[in-house]
């Protein structure tokens, strides 16, 4: 129920006034916020809870004064704001970044627990505030549960080294029709097959979109890396084999036969691509 200013009791006014004065230093800022707080569609206790979370999230009055009315008017339950504030302050260092991140998270359908898990996963994956803020703004609305981000973070971090590359790989995983644990298995198969981050980034959508199990991808990757020496050649046969309907065990056997027949990578590459193309699934 929306509370009009006249509906506030003297006790409400005292609670809210104390929270406002604790949050902001200048009388002008306090006056502006007090008006918003009195008119907010929240109980006095909830107003205090929201303002406490704002105080936790920001250090400068400028940002607190600007963000508090947004938070008070937001339809989220008051209890959501403290967990989100904690996740945001752990993730991002500057008030400006925190404000952008907080707004992005608040405007999603994630509940507080889901939002906190999402922020924790982003924090585990990336090291720079710029990349972390980018991911929060870009993927806060992503369909995956927040725990998926925490689950996938170690596998992505192990696969590629830079924040930029990790953001790219994360983008491939967001809409992959696989559970997070299955995504990790596919990424591990890519990691064991290739050595360069550049090629691994190209191989990720191949693996995730192939429909192959992580076990099949690992077997195909191992066969490809045994057959060929360069990442570029391995990517060609991995892409072709993963997209085929040939059973993984047959691919392993076929590549082994080619490896024992030819002595040079160019001939082995040509033979492997030709064999995959000609072999029905």
Q: How many CB atoms lie within 10 A of CB 18?
A: 12
Q: Does residue 165 lie in a domain region?
A: no
- What pLDDT was estimated at residue 103? 98
What is the domain count for the chain?
A: 2
Cα–Cα–Cα angle for 208, 211, 212, nearest 5°? 90
Both 95 and 211 in one domain: the answer is: no
Residue 172 lies in a domain: no
Residue that is last in its domain, among 95, 116, 142: 142
Domain range enclosing 253 = 178-281
pTM listed for this prediction:
0.90
For residue range 242-281, list pLDDT tens digits in order: 999 999 999 999 999 999 999 999 999 999 999 999 998 7
Quick one: which of 43, 45, 23 has its CA closest to 34?
Answer: 23
Q: Tell whether 173 is covered by a domain.
A: no
Task: State the residue for tokens 């002008």.
Answer: 28
H-helix or E-strand spanning residue 168: helix 163-174
- On whether both 138 and 183 belong to a single domain, the answer is no
Phi, psi for residue 150 in degrees, rounded to 5: -65, -35
The contacts of residue 249 (CB under 8 Å, 6+ apart) are 219
What confidence tens digit (pLDDT) does each residue in 24-78 have?
999 999 999 999 999 999 999 999 999 999 999 999 999 999 999 999 999 999 9
Q: Are residues 50 and 122 in the same domain?
A: yes
């Amino acid at each position: 129920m929306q509370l009009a200013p006249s509906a506030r009791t003297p006790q409400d006014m005292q609670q809210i006034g104390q929270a406002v004065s604790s949050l902001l230093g200048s009388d002008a800022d306090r006056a502006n916020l007090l008006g918003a707080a009195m008119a907010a569609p929240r109980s006095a206790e909830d107003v205090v809870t929201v303002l406490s979370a704002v105080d936790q999230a920001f250090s400068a009055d400028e940002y607190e004064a600007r963000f508090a009315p947004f938070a008070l008017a937001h339809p989220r339950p008051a209890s959501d704001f403290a967990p989100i504030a904690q996740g945001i302050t752990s993730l991002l260092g500057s008030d400006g970044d925190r404000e952008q991140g907080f707004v992005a998270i608040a405007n999603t359908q994630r509940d507080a627990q889901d939002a906190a898990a999402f922020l924790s996963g982003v924090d585990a994956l990336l090291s720079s505030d710029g990349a972390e803020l980018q991911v929060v703004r870009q993927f806060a609305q992503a369909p995956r549960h927040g725990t998926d981000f925490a689950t996938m973070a170690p596998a992505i971090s192990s696969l590629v080294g830079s924040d930029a590359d990790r953001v790219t790989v994360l983008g491939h995983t967001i809409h992959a029709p696989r559970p997070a644990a299955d995504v990790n298995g596919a990424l591990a198969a890519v990691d064991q097959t290739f050595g360069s981050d550049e090629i691994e980034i190209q191989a990720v959508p191949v693996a995730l979109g192939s429909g192959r199990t992580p076990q099949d991808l690992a077997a195909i990757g191992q066969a490809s890396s045994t057959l060929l020496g360069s990442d570029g050649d391995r990517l060609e046969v991995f892409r072709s084999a993963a997209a085929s309907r040939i059973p993984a065990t047959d691919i392993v056997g076929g590549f082994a036969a080619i490896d024992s027949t030819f002595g040079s990578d160019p001939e082995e590459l040509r033979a492997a691509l030709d064999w995959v193309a000609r072999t029905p699934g």
